[in-house]
């Protein structure tokens, strides 16, 4: 006669775990270079920016070049004032920007290169971006692009206490290095950089439209 296997019965008093139970997965979070991006936060992301005031945010310059993927990218120019001036003269133009080092509520790190408004020229994208990063130094915010009116809009979270405690697992130096990574021009690679050689390899045409007939 075949013995019928008795079905196991769950005791509800034994369901659950103690509050101090350890799963053995202890340690600290590691942020690798591939986890840090160069670009503004997504419109759905709540984020914070390093520093207490705008003066705490490092500035820099960048030049635009085509990279291996065929797309144009901003390359951060790092070095002495003399070197930065030389690169600007070589490319005939550059962009001055703030290194807005941010962290999202989901733990994603990035740098938003926010353009510094120049002279009397009013750029709503740049001025509203500047307002957003100063707000993000104090509160969790998210931003969206208003393409109709050509500016950014900032939303400040009502319940700031519902967000995780702001902890920067990496310092600003590493965040900048990882974000820019292969998009840095410095005195050690400028002379032989393949993208620079390609960008500056063409001849400047003497256009007739630039002369008086």
Tens digits of pLDDT across the chain (213 residues) = 566 666 666 666 666 666 665 555 454 455 555 678 999 999 999 999 999 999 999 999 999 999 888 889 999 999 999 999 999 999 998 999 999 999 999 999 999 999 987 776 678 999 999 999 999 999 999 999 999 999 999 999 999 999 999 999 999 999 999 999 889 999 999 999 999 999 998 654 454 544 454
For 31, residues 6+ apart whose C-beta sits below 8 A from its C-beta are: 109, 169, 170, 174, 178
Whether the full predicted model's pTM is greater than 0.85, yes or no, is no
pLDDT at 70 (0 to 100): 84
Run of H or E residues at 150: none
For 163, residues 6+ apart whose C-beta sits below 8 A from its C-beta are: 46, 105, 140, 157
Q: Is 9 helix (H, G, I), strand (E, B) or coil?
A: coil
Distance CA 133, CA 154 (A): 9
**Which sequence spans correspond to the domains of the chain?**
33-199
Q: Is 23 helix (H, G, I), strand (E, B) or coil?
A: coil
Distance CA 4, CA 54 (A): 75
pLDDT at 35 (0 to 100): 72
pLDDT at 202 (0 to 100): 60
pLDDT at 122 (0 to 100): 73
Helices (H), 81-152: 81-91, 124-136
């Amino acid at each position: 006669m075949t013995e019928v296997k008795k079905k196991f019965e769950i005791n509800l008093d034994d369901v659950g775990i103690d509050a101090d139970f350890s799963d053995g997965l202890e340690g600290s979070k590691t942020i690798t270079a591939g986890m840090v991006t160069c670009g503004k936060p997504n419109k759905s992301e709540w984020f914070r920016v390093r520093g207490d005031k705008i003066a705490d945010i490092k500035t820099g310059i960048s030049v635009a070049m085509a990279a291996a993927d065929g797309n144009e990218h901003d390359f951060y120019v790092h070095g002495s004032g003399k070197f930065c001036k030389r690169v600007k003269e070589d490319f005939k133009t550059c962009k001055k920007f703030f290194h807005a080092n941010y962290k999202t509520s989901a733990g994603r790190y990035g740098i938003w290169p926010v353009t510094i408004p120049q002279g009397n020229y009013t750029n709503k994208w740049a001025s509203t971006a500047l307002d957003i990063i100063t707000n993000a130094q104090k509160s969790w915010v998210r931003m969206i692009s208003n393409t109709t009116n050509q500016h950014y809009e900032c939303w400040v979270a009502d319940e700031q206490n519902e967000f995780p405690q702001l902890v920067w697992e990496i310092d600003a130096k590493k965040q900048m290095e990882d974000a820019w990574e292969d998009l840095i021009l410095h005195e050690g690679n400028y002379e032989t950089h393949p993208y620079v050689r390609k960008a500056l390899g063409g001849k400047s045409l003497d256009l007739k439209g630039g002369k008086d007939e």
